[in-house]
Structure 1
Amino acid sequence: MDNPRSERVKRVAALATRGGRKKQRLFLAEGPQPVREALKVWLARYEPDDAVALPGAPEAPRLPQLDALFFDAAAVQRFPDVEALLDRMRGVLFDPTIDLPRDARPFLREATPEVLAAMGDAETSQGLVAVSRIPDGDADFRSLESATVASPVSLIAGVVRVQDPGNVGTIIRAADAAGAELVVLAAGSADPWSPKVVRAAAGSHFHLPIFTGIDIAEYARFVQPNGVQVLAAAGQADLTLHELSSPSTAGRRVSAAGRTLWLFGNEAQGLSAHELALADAAVSIPIYGRAESLNVSTAATLCLYATATAQDLAPVSGVEAPGELRQ
């Protein structure tokens, strides 16, 4: 492709806008990291079972699926692992013995740097632009309920009116790194499918389900009766993260090792009184230096890792085994 003013290029470029994403149900994923993970998800779903398994390849049912990939051949050569994954995809696509569904065949095209720059949202194109499908039901509460009960969850990141795309993307990335099973964004949060969020998440959109526009109060009421505690990260609280993580839990209703939905609030206002009231406990992070506060994505990383570490270290006899959630 060599015409940066073609209709296809314009349609891809429109995905930088919320309206374009809503209309097409697609989003942009630029650069080697998200493209690498998009290819892994596709291969995990469509490559024959006897193929060499990809290390760390995620399950695919509720993850974004690759719709198109545009690339500069020279850029692909700079990333040998991406090149190898692309070769594996081509091997599946062009194998006459494999009967793929029509919607499983991504549109693959080599493109000039000018075309890739016109398509993408990044200031400097890295020569790889993927277009992926936003999963069906990403804003549907019943779909979220189903995803929650399909495999009983241990850790969920709840993003409540966090509006900076970089913060939202970093929280998604931290949730992924901490082993969270779900990321849930309340109404008023930045669009998780925007290019800036996707870049900040560095491929994590292809690792765990993300739900947006959710009524967080309704979701808290859904998980609490089923053994999932709700913890709210707050600037001021009687319980500190250190105390939450301490081995002594006598008389406490919450535990760092418990199955947890964390709530992280708006950058400036934090969580409202109503949102704090949803939680079983508010938890603060001590400030030992002179900084006024922590960035919300930094605070989220600390909280998620405190829970993940406690869950990992908890003796089997010391923590109630996850039971099935009830709808």
Structure 2
Amino acid sequence: MYTPRTPRIVAARRLQRRKDRDQSGRFLAEGPQAVREALAAGVVLELFGTGSALDRYPELVAQAPEVSPVTDDALNALAETVHPQGLVAVCEQVDVPIGKALVKQPRLVAVVAEIRDPGNAGTVLRTADAAGADAVIFAGDAVDPYNGKCVRASAGSLFHVDVVRSPLTIIDLLQDSGLQVLATSGAGEDDVDSLLDGGLLDRPTAWLFGSEAHGLPEAMLAAADRRVRVPIYGAAESLNLAAAAAVCLYASARAQR
């Protein structure tokens, strides 16, 4: 049974750092739900589990290409949550080149531009998946989609949509692929409801979302086809990023259906 000092545990633990994830093309998926989705996607390389967890999830053990029993201390070293659930998988990264994603002619795309908060990014991933989006693009100096908190917040959706990493200069490419590009902005000339009522959201669309602190870069706002705000009918100053993304993506999902 592997301990925290076993070389394979030491090597896997390094994947908690972005530099090591980038160099190896691997990441950690923690907990039975994430492991289940990763196994379904065929990207699990090795499954680490405590004895009790391996007994509890025999269906996951049966699917894993390699299973390594570990001590509780070793599992705690790999896990990033306060109360880990006994399973951690080493997985291959799943992102695809932007050209490969766009050649599929997606109808709904979410672009998170320079978003640094992994929880927000993972929640947008989950929301985009739920709304039927085909791809989520992490643009510019955005959080690593394989950050542990982002993977957990995506609740498995990381494995359901095309995950793309790209520079900020992608607006022309999106437009050339037949997507209207809508940039979210609190000061936008258009609002989501008027676009929905006007029948303008039934087209293939890429929504651009910026960080809560700074919004979208000026160049992206200028290059987009429209700048769109989420209408605020009460006294709240604004919505957080994940809530605004849900409103926009579901408006498009409704229009496209």
- Is it true that 1:173 corresponds to 2:126 in the alignment? yes
Percent same amino acid among aligned pairs?
A: 41
Cα root mean square deviation, aligned:
1.6
In structure 1, which of residues 230, 235, 238 is the aligned counterpart of residue 189 of structure 2? 238
Give yes or no for contact 2:15–2:28 (8 Å, CA) kept in 1.
yes
Measured after TM superposition, the shift of residue 176 of structure 1 is: 1.0
Give yes or no for contact 2:105–2:177 (8 Å, CA) kept in 1.
no
Q: 1:295 & 1:24 partners in 2: Cα distance?
A: 34
Give yes or no for contact 2:192–2:230 (8 Å, CA) kept in 1.
yes
- Is it true that 1:119 corresponds to 2:78 in the alignment? yes
Measured after TM superposition, the shift of residue 85 of structure 1 is: 4.1
The residue that corresponds to 1:70 in the other structure is 48
1:214-293 mapped onto 2 (5 Å cutoff) = 214-217=166-169, 219-246=170-197, 248-249=198-199, 255-293=200-238
Measured after TM superposition, the shift of residue 84 of structure 1 is: 2.4
Measured after TM superposition, the shift of residue 37 of structure 1 is: 0.4
Which protein has the bigger strand share?
2
The letter for the 2-side match of 1:117 is N
Give yes or no for contact 2:2–2:68 (8 Å, CA) kept in 1.
no
| Equivalent residues, number | 257
Q: 1:71 & 1:18 partners in 2: Cα distance?
A: 23
Q: 1:190 & 1:168 partners in 2: Cα distance?
A: 7
The residue that corresponds to 1:145 in the other structure is 99
- Is it true that 1:26 corresponds to 2:3 in the alignment? no
Q: 1:308 & 1:73 partners in 2: Cα distance?
A: 44
Give yes or no for contact 1:2–1:115 (8 Å, CA) kept in 2.
yes
Measured after TM superposition, the shift of residue 205 of structure 1 is: 1.2
Q: Deviations over 1:133-157 (max 9, x none)?
A: 113x74xxxx3112210x2110111
SS in structure 1 at match of 2:183: strand
Give yes or no for contact 2:102–2:177 (8 Å, CA) kept in 1.
no
Q: Deviations over 1:76-120 (max 9, x none)?
A: 455xxx532433x26xxxxxxxxxxxxxxx321122221111112
The residue that corresponds to 2:114 in the other structure is 161
SS in structure 2 at match of 1:216: coil
Q: 2:81 & 2:38 partners in 1: Cα distance?
A: 18
Measured after TM superposition, the shift of residue 11 of structure 1 is: 0.9
The residue that corresponds to 1:12 in the other structure is 12
Change (3 A) 1:226 1:190: closer
For structure 2, the residue ranges without an aligned partner over 5 or more in a row are none
Q: 1:75 & 1:108 partners in 2: Cα distance?
A: 12
User: TM-score, normalised on structure 1?
Assistant: 0.75
Measured after TM superposition, the shift of residue 70 of structure 1 is: 0.9
Q: 2:61 & 2:129 partners in 1: Cα distance?
A: 24
Q: 1:226 & 1:12 partners in 2: Cα distance?
A: 39
In structure 2, which of residues 236, 240, 243 is the aligned counterpart of residue 298 of structure 1? 243
Change (3 A) 1:223 1:2: closer
Change (3 A) 1:225 1:23: closer
The letter for the 2-side match of 1:145 is G
Give yes or no for contact 1:28–1:130 (8 Å, CA) kept in 2.
yes
Give yes or no for contact 1:35–1:129 (8 Å, CA) kept in 2.
yes
Measured after TM superposition, the shift of residue 2 of structure 1 is: 3.6
SS in structure 2 at match of 1:189: coil
Q: 2:58 & 2:127 partners in 1: Cα distance?
A: 27
Q: 1:116 & 1:284 partners in 2: Cα distance?
A: 45
The residue that corresponds to 2:58 in the other structure is 83
Q: Which moved more, 1:177-186 or 1:112-121?
A: 112-121
Measured after TM superposition, the shift of residue 175 of structure 1 is: 0.9
1:189-200 mapped onto 2 (5 Å cutoff) = 189-200=142-153
SS in structure 1 at match of 2:164: strand
The residue that corresponds to 1:102 in the other structure is none
For structure 1, the residue ranges without an aligned partner over 5 or more in a row are 43-64, 91-105, 250-254, 313-327
Q: 1:152 & 1:129 partners in 2: Cα distance?
A: 35
Give the ranges of 4+ consecutive aligned residues of structure 1 lying more than 6 Å apart after TM superposition: none
Give yes or no for contact 2:139–2:168 (8 Å, CA) kept in 1.
yes
Q: 1:72 & 1:203 partners in 2: Cα distance?
A: 22
